[in-house]
Every structure is written in C-alpha cells, then in structure tokens.
Amino acid sequence: MSKICQITGKKALVGNNVSHSKRRTKRRFLPNLFRKRFYFPEEDRWVTLVVSAAGLRTINKNGLLASLKDAKAKGFITEEI
C-alpha cells in the first residue's frame, strides 16, 4: 500500500528524533492512512481508496463525487476509479 492519501495527497515527511542530549537521528512521520471502500451511487458500484483521516473528513464534508473530481484535477488519483 502506497503511503499517499488519494484524496488530500498527504504523504510521509522526514524529521528528526531529538534525544535528551539533543542528538538528532532521522525519522519519518507517516500519515494516518486507511484502505476504505465507498459506495459510488452515480455509477452503482463500490470504489476502494487509500485515504487519510483528513481525507475521510473531506469526503464527509464535500461528498464522494466532488472529492474524487477535485483529487483527479490535482493529480492525486492517476488510475481510473
């Protein structure tokens, strides 16, 4: 599973672990991703998306069709859904 949200485009960031002595080592901040199935009533079928928690809230707010159109326009979704 790729670590990129298909709705918001969130992906892993790089930062530092900082110890008590201020010694820094690299680490990754991963997005909170889920593999989720949504019912797509316009086409009477189910679609599976990899979405973050913020992506779920976006779908709840704007609707599935509007979110998919916006994500496709921004280039977050490349394959046909």
User: Going by CATH, does the domain composed of 13-74 fall within 2.30.170.40?
Assistant: yes
Phi/psi at 22 (nearest 5 deg)? 70, 15
pTM: 0.85
**Tokens found for residue 14:** 């790089």
Say what the pLDDT of residue 80 is.
74
18: amino acid identity, one letter: V
Tell me the domain boundaries of the chain: 13-74
Sign of CA dihedral 4, 72, 52, 42: negative
Residue 23 CA to residue 33 CA, distance in Å, equals 30
Cα–Cα distance list, 66 to 24, 53, 58 (Å): 42, 17, 10
Residues of the chain with pLDDT under 70: 1
Say what the pLDDT of residue 17 is.
98
